[in-house]
A = this chain, B = another copy of it.
Amino acid sequence: MNSPQQAQKRPLAVLQKAITKKATVRLKTDVEYRGRVSNVDAFMNLILEDAEEFEGGRLSANYGRVIVRGDNVLYVKLESSL
């Protein structure tokens, strides 16, 4: 088993490495944002570029750059494996 310090960083480290990749960010409210993750921090605060908002699977808005507060996040789905 790895050290706790390593363990603690991993899912966030995967997100870090996913920078510039396309991702879907599902919020606890079930709204989704799709875009390129240009950065993320330890709270899962995320910067999305060229973000699109989807509600009920339907495109509901186009954003430019949006900074999502991490505590709203349900999951982040990466479009391609790393």
Contacts and interface: CB of A to CB of B under 8 A. Distances in A.
Interface of A: 1-2, 4, 7-17, 27-29, 33, 39-47, 63-82
Contact of A75 (B1, B44, B69): B69
Given A65-B82, A66-B75, A68-B75, 10 more contacts: A1-B13, A7-B12, A10-B39, A10-B47, A11-B41, A11-B45, A28-B72, A64-B81, A67-B77, A72-B74
- By secondary structure, the A interface counts as mixed
A42 to B, nearest CB: 4
A64 B81 CA distance: 8
A54 to B, nearest CB: 13
